Amino acid sequence: MSTTKLQSLPEIPLPDAGAFAISPSGEFAVVCQTSSGKISIIDTRSGEILKTIFFPRQPTGVEFSRNGMFLYVVLDRHAIVEFFTSDWSESKRISWTEIWTKIVAGNDGGHVYAVSPRGIDELDVARLEIVRSFPYPELMNSSALKSGNLLCLVTLEKFIVFDVQSWGKKREQTIEGGHFVEIDPGRGRAFVGLNRKKIVEILNLESGDSLGSIPGDDFVQGVALTPSGSMAFVISHVGANMAVYDVDGEVKKIEDVSIGGDPRHVVVARDGARVYVTNGIALKVFEVS
């Protein structure tokens, strides 16, 4: 069992801090401040806010390209905007009228996948056009993550594994109260938040079989994994808490960490050295010791 503990580092005050992304290099954090209509770009080493970008519509999600050269920002029912990360200038934008859109970066840096209530769309950012679409009207309130060629999605009633190479559903299974999904690609596992059951269920990506579960509270907001897949960080509205679990084998709790505020999003840096959490008040930073 892991004995890893978290050390709290100075937090970065950010009113209405919500969805965010950490750059592949770990150098930058980009945080959506949705009600303020802006994003803040932060140097993770110094905690300094390098730049604030304002928009005419609310930014609801951000995603870096796999190579870290571009940042994609979803503006609610307005556009998907691409920025150069070298100077944070706008590169281009695609008109986008859907709500509740999740952006997932493709492997080649030139394509992104947009998951929205109308289905799945592959976008060629360079040509500013939709390349392929897969209608799936049940994807309301879905979240998605990419593992290799698989796009993993969850809705209130379904867990879906979608193959972006063959462009079709590989597998679909019924779940209860799906809220989010996090992928452990190395071990072929999906961590699916099921709020009706008040758990995070661990599923085998290939078969869909249950491999165990992490107990939750009334509303589990999200989960993030270390790169090795051995530890899970689970944030919950109840008690404004983050629970740390050893998920290397049998699920065991390591510790509880107070987050405060309204926990909204959790991300582990690609090297596993830090955990970041937004709570509507600040970006909180923890070092994995």
C-alpha–C-alpha distance, residues 59 and 289, integer Å: 33
Task: Count the Cβ atoms, other than its own, within 10 Å of residue 271.
Answer: 12
User: Contact 203/211 with Cβ under 8 angstroms?
Assistant: yes
With left for phi above 0 and alpha for psi between -120 and 50, is residue 180 left, alpha or beta? beta
pLDDT given for residue 144 in this prediction: 78
Q: How many alpha carbons fall within 13 Å on the CB side of residue 240? A: 10
Looking at residue 189, its pLDDT comes to 95
- Residue 141 has a CB neighbour count (10 Å cut-off) of 13
**Which two three-digit tokens encode residue 265?**
């999003």
Residues 230, 212 contacting (CB under 8 angstroms)? no
* CA–CA gap between residue 221 and residue 180 (Å, rounded): 8
Predicted pLDDT of residue 218: 64
Spans of the chain, pLDDT less than 50: none
Judge whether 234 and 200 are in contact, CB under 8 Å: yes
Across the beta sheet with 90-95, what order do the strands follow? 59-64, 70-75, 79-84, 90-95
DSSP the chain: -----EEEEEEEE-TTEEEEEE-TTSSEEEEEEGGGTEEEEEETTT--EEEEEE-SS-EEEEEE-TTSSEEEEEETTTEEEEEETTT--EEEEEE---SS-EEEE-TTSSEEEEEETTEEEEEETTTTEEEEEEE-TT-TT-EEEEETTEEEEE-SSEEEEEETTTTEEEEEEE-SSEEEEEEETTTTEEEEEETTTTEEEEEETTT--EEEEEE--S-EEEEEE-TTS-EEEEEETGGGEEEEEE-SSS-EEEEEEE--S---EEEE-TTSSEEEEE-SSEEEEEEE-
Q: What is the Cα–Cα distance from 51 to 43, expressed in whole angstroms? A: 10
Residue type, 214: I
Per-residue pLDDT at 3: 62
